[in-house]
A and B are shown apart, each in its own frame.
Chain A
Amino acid sequence: QLQLQESGPGLVKPSETLSLTCTVSSDSVSSNNYYWGWIRQPPGKGLEWIGSMYYGGSTYYNPSLKSRVAISVVTSKNHFSLKLSSVTAADTAVYYCARQRSGSYTLEYFDYWGQGTLVTVSS
């Protein structure tokens, strides 16, 4: 059974960079037909897609976050990472990593999710 586990600091100071890693078990981040993505959810609010990346390098980002986001896939460690720069209190959220199925011309749905990790932005 595929498992994803987020890890990283639970508290980040304003203006600094949020860094999270998602470790994948029982599957390879080099699998064909899958992207690896990040989604966040502010407390009491809805889901917001951050971005998705294929191990071969193809990447898609939420336009509203694109200038501050970088996602990378490290095949040797079978994990992928998120960096979000210049954070503010508005970036406080539960951050989920997930596997995303890809179609012929589209990205599709997230079929496996991590448990999520709360990141608070505060001084």
Chain B
Amino acid sequence: AQSVTQPDIHITVSEGASLELRCNYSYGATPYLFWYVQSPGQGLQLLLKYFSGDTLVQGIKGFEAEFKRSQSSFNLRKPSVHWSDAAEYFCALEYGGATNKLIFGTGTLLAVQP
């Protein structure tokens, strides 16, 4: 069965430092992968997605993610974190059937220290 794992529940980084959020997936076919960000009490905003092609995907707000099939990973990175990046980040996998659906990881809460 398909699954998404985000090993880090909570991460704290200093403003200006680099960031990497981990995401591992399990799926028997070619994965379509997403990263979303959620601010408190809000819906989800798409940061980036990977369907095929270049394994390094650029997204909004200076984020990027790299798809590594050999490691079943899709880690999110940002070279310099801003205080406004503090939020919850979700990795998601699209899986198929009668209708394609998303399954989410458990999320990583990012705190940014001044």
Chains A and B bind each other? no
